Chain A
Amino acid sequence: QKEVEQNSGPLSVPEGAIASLNCTYSDRGSQSFFWYRQYSGKSPELIMFIYSNGDKEDGRFTAQLNKASQYVSLLIRDSQPSDSATYLCAVVRSQGNLIFGKGTKLSVKP
């Protein structure tokens, strides 16, 4: 089992819809979880971090964490064409090192 798994996509949603990005992880001792956005040819930029079970909202973005199911997701409400990018899930393992998923490519169609 890969340590951090994401569907590679592409995930295509119409403008204004909700985009749902999912991530599972294998290390049950993981404590910190991050979502990064990466535009083509650019560096990853932090969108959100979440440490506790439940939902965390920041503007149009909501991160959801379920440690029992080893599952973290990112919801993007009112998706815009400018949200089109690759979204990287990252998990701090119990040993303290950060592991990235391969990313999900999101395409928001006008």
Chain B
Amino acid sequence: DAGITQSPRHKVTETGTPVTLRCHQTENHRYMYWYRQDPGHGLRLIHYSYGVKDTDKGEVSDGYSVSRSKTEDFLLTLESATSSQTSVYFCAISESTRGATDTQYFGPGTRLTVL
């Protein structure tokens, strides 16, 4: 298994509170991703990182921010959580985005409930 951990694994919070999810990898892969998975929508990319301090938006980035201060850590922050952000969040990593090393490997996920 790829060395990816996510914390917390489960979280219940209230609308309007800030929430930070952490993804940690031990593979030294350059690329890291945050996805959310919802019934009827599948996996959708929120943000991704292509290096320390280098990040970019995905298709559903509104309401989310990210930071990557070290190769191994990628943080996802919900500045003011809303009920529509109730979801399962997955972190993924890959060596590259092209060619034979573009395979993404997923962490165990974080189940977030916003009341």
Contact = CB atoms under 8 A, between A and B. Distances in A.
Interface residues of B, number: 22
Given A96-B97, A96-B98, A88 B103 contact: no
A42 B103 CA distance: 18
Given A43-B90, A92-B97, A96-B98, A101 B42 contact: yes
A44 to B, nearest CB: 5
Interface string B19-48: 000000000000001000000111111001
19 contacts: A31-B98, A34-B103, A42-B109, A43-B108, A43-B109, A44-B90, A44-B106, A45-B106, A46-B103, A88-B42, A92-B98, A92-B102, A96-B98, A98-B45, A98-B104, A100-B44, A101-B42, A102-B41, A103-B42
Interface of B: 33, 40-45, 48, 58, 90, 97-100, 102-109
Interface of A: 31-32, 34, 36, 42-46, 49, 51, 88, 90, 92, 96-98, 100-103
